[in-house]
C-alpha cells in the first residue's frame, strides 16, 4: 500500500523551534545557572514534537527514530574525544603540567599594564585548561580584586579577563565548545583549531592593542599579593619547573604533525601519568586517600581516579583548590548527554524535513559566501539570545548549515570556525545567557557594563563576516583542510 508524505510547511518547521525556545526559557528562569541538565530534557521533548509532526506528514516512527540514531552516530567520535579530554585534564593537573603553566603564566602580570597582562594571563590559563568559566571563577576573581585595590576600571578589567579567557578556551584542544564545533561539522579537531587562527589572532591582537592603550597611565607599584600566594601554594603541593611542560610540548608537536586527535589526546594523557609517577609521587598517593594500600597500589588508584573522577585539590587555599579541582571522564558526561540529545533533536528535524524547510527560509536571500557567513553569524547570535546557551548556539546552526556550505563548494571547516567566532564568543555578551549570567555573577560586573570592553568577543564575528565578503581564508570543498589559501 503506497503512502503519501507531505512536505512540511513553514509553520510545521517553526513549531518545534518555538517549543524548544519556550522550554529553554523556562529552564533558565526556573533553574538559573543549573539549567544545563534540564536543557537536555527540553531538547528531547522538542525532538518528540518534531517526530509527531513528521508522523502527521506521513512518516513512520521507525524512519524518524533511525534518522535520530544515524545523526547521533556522527557524534560518537566526539564523545570519545570528550572522554579523553576529561582524562587528559585530570592527568595533567596531577603531573604538575597545568600547575606549572599557571605558575609561569601569572609571572607575566605587570601592575603597570594591568589590562594587557590580565588578558594575556587569562588567555594562557584558558588555553591550558580549556574552560573560560574556570578562568573567570578562579584567577578572574583574584584579578578583579586586584583591579579594585589599584582603583582601576572594573568593567574594563572584566572585559580583559573575558577576552583572554575566551581566546584561550577557543583555541584549546581541551575545550568542550572547540571539540563540539569540530564534531558537529565532522571536522578534525586540530584542523579546526588551525583554521580559527585566521580570525582569532587578528581579533586578539587588536584587543591587546586596545587594552594596552586603555592601560597607559593606570600603572601602580602595589605588590600583587594574591598572585604570589597562589604561586606559593602551588609550589608547596607540586614540583614546579619548566620540565613539567613537556606533555604540553608533546601534544602540540603531535597536533602540528596532524596526527589523529584521539591518539594525540591518549598520548598526552599517558605522558601526564608518567610525569605524575616520576615527579609527583606524593601527590598521586595523597589523591588515592587510602592508607590501607601499598604505595604502588595507591599510585595506581590515584592515577585512575584523576583520569576518571578528576583531580581534587584540598590544600586549604580556596582559590587554588577551585582552580585545580577539575577534569576526569565523569565530569564530561553531562556535556556528552547534551551532545547526544542535541543530535537527537537535529536528527528528528532533519529526517522529517523540518530543518531543510527552516534552512530554505533562512537562505532565501543568500546570494554569496559572504551572505552565508553572515547568515551563520546571525543565527548563532540569535540562538544565544533566544536559547540562552552557547552549546545550542553551536549545535543547532551547525546542523542547519552543513549542507548549505557543501552546496556552495565551501568546506565545512569554514562553518566550524564561524560557529566558534559567533556562537562561542557572543554567549558571554547576552545577560540572560548562561555564560553572560555566570560571568556577571562571578566577576561582580553587570553584562551590559563589561560587554563593550570584551573586545575579542565582539571583534571575531565582525572579522568572520569581513572575511566572508572578501573571500579571505575560505577553503573550498575540494581543497585539503590544510590549504589555507583564499
Residue with cell string 575545550: 175
Confidence of residue 217 (pLDDT cuts 50, 70, 90): low
Q: What is the pLDDT of residue 130?
A: 84
pLDDT tens per residue, range 223-282: 557 677 878 888 999 999 999 989 988 887 887 676 787 888 899 999 999 999 999 999
Segment of 27-31, 61-65, 76-80, 310-314 carrying the highest mean pLDDT: 61-65
- Return the pLDDT at 309: 93
* Measured distance CA(58)–CA(259) in Å, rounded: 46
Q: What is the pLDDT of residue 103?
A: 83
Residue among 340, 270, 311, 269 nearest 37 (CA): 340
What's the pLDDT at 109?
Answer: 64
Find, among 236, 227, 245, 242, the residue nearest to 314 by Cα.
236
pLDDT at 24: 81
Q: The pTM is what? A: 0.70
pLDDT for 465: 96
Least confident of 32-41, 288-297, 400-409, 459-468: 32-41
The pLDDT assigned to 51 comes to 95
Structure confidence at residue 360 (pLDDT)? 77
Could you give the C-alpha distances from 387 to 25, 349, 434, 447, in angstroms and in order?
7, 17, 10, 17
Cβ neighbours, 10 Å, residue 242: 8
**Tell me, what's the pLDDT at 111?**
63
pLDDT of residue 482: 45
Q: What is the per-residue pLDDT across 366-393, written as a single tens digit (0 to 9) for each? A: 888 899 999 999 989 888 876 667 888 8
| pLDDT (mean) for 297-306 | 94
Q: Taken in order 372, 370, 75, 396, is the CA torsion positive or negative?
A: negative
* Residue 221's pLDDT band (cuts 50, 70, 90): very low
Residues comprising the chain, all counted? 486
User: Ranked by mean pLDDT, which of 57-66, 328-337, 438-447 comes out on top?
Assistant: 57-66
Of the chain, the percentage scoring pLDDT greater than 70 comes to 92
Question: What is the predicted pLDDT for the residue at 480?
Answer: 46
Predicted pLDDT of residue 102: 79
Q: For 151, which DSSP code? A: T
| pLDDT beyond 60 at 215 | yes
Amino acid at each position: 500500500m503506497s503512502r503519501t508524505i507531505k512536505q512540511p510547511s513553514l509553520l510545521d518547521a517553526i513549531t518545534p523551534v518555538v517549543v524548544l525556545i519556550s522550554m529553554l526559557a523556562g529552564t533558565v528562569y526556573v533553574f538559573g545557572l543549573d539549567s544545563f541538565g534540564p536543557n537536555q530534557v527540553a531538547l528531547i521533548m522538542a525532538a518528540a514534537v518534531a517526530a509527531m509532526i513528521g508522523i502527521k506528514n506521513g512518516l513512520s516512527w521507525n524512519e524518524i527514530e533511525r534518522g535520530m540514531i544515524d545523526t547521533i552516530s556522527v557524534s560518537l567520535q566526539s564523545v570519545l574525544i570528550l572522554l579523553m579530554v576529561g582524562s587528559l585534564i585530570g592527568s595533567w593537573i596531577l603531573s604538575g603540567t597545568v600547575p606549572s603553566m599557571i605558575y609561569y603564566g601569572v609571572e607575566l602580570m605587570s601592575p603597570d599594564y594591568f589590562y594587557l597582562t590580565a588578558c594575556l594571563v587569562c588567555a594562557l590559563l584558558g588555553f591550558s585548561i580549556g574552560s573560560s568559566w574556570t578562568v573567570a571563577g578562579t584567577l578572574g576573581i583574584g584579578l578583579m580584586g586586584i583591579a579594585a585595590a589599584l582603583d582601576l576600571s572594573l568593567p574594563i578589567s572584566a572585559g580583559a579577563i573575558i577576552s583572554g579567557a575566551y581566546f584561550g578556551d577557543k583555541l584549546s584542544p581541551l575545550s568542550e565548545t572547540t571539540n563540539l564545533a569540530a564534531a558537529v561539522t565532522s571536522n578534525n579537531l586540530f584542523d579546526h583549531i588551525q583554521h580559527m587562527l585566521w580570525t582569532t589572532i587578528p581579533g586578539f591582537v587588536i584587543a591587546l592593542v586596545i587594552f594596552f592603550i586603555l592601560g597607559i597611565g593606570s600603572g601602580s607599584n602595589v605588590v600583587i599579593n594574591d598572585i604570589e600566594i597562589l604561586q606559593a601554594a602551588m609550589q608547596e603541593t607540586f614540583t614546579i619547573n619548566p620540565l613539567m611542560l613537556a606533555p604540553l610540548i608533546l601534544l602540540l608537536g603531535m597536533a602540528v604533525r596532524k596526527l589523529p586527535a584521539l591518539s594525540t589526546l591518549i598520548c598526552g594523557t599517558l605522558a601526564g601519568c608518567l610525569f605524575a609517577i616520576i615527579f609527583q609521587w606524593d601527590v598521586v598517593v595523597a589523591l588515592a586517600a587510602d592508607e590501607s594500600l601499598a604505595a604502588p597500589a595507591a599510585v595506581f588508584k590515584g592515577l585512575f581516579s584523576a583520569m576518571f573522577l578528576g583531580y581534587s585539590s584540598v590544600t586549604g587555599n580556596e582559590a587554588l583548590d577551585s582552580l585545580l579541582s577539575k577534569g576526569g571522564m565523569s565530569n564530561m558526561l553531562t556535556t556528552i548527554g547534551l551532545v547526544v540529545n542535541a543530535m537527537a533533536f537535529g536528527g528528528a528535524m532533519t529526517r522529517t524535513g523540518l530543518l531543510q524547510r527552516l534552512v530554505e527560509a533562512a537562505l532565501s536571500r543568500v546570494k554569496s559566501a559572504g551572505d552565508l557567513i553572515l547568515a551563520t553569524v546571525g543565527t548563532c547570535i540569535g540562538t544565544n539570545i533566544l536559547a540562552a546557551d552557547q552549546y545550542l548556539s553551536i549545535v543547532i546552526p551547525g546542523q542547519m548549515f552543513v549542507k548549505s556550505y557543501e552546496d556552495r563548494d565551501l568546506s565545512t571547516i569554514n562553518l566550524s570556525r564561524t560557529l566558534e567566532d559567533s556562537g562561542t564568543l557572543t554567549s558571554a555578551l547576552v545577560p540572560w545567557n548562561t555564560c553572560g549570567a555566570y560571568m556577571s555573577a562571578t566577576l561582580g560586573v553587570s553584562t551590559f557594563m563589561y560587554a563593550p570592553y570584551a573586545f575579542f568577543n565582539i571583534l571575531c564575528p565582525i572579522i568572520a563576516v569581513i572575511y566572508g565578503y572578501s573571500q579571505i581564508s575560505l577553503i573550498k570543498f575540494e581543497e585539503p583542510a590544510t590549504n589555507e589559501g583564499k
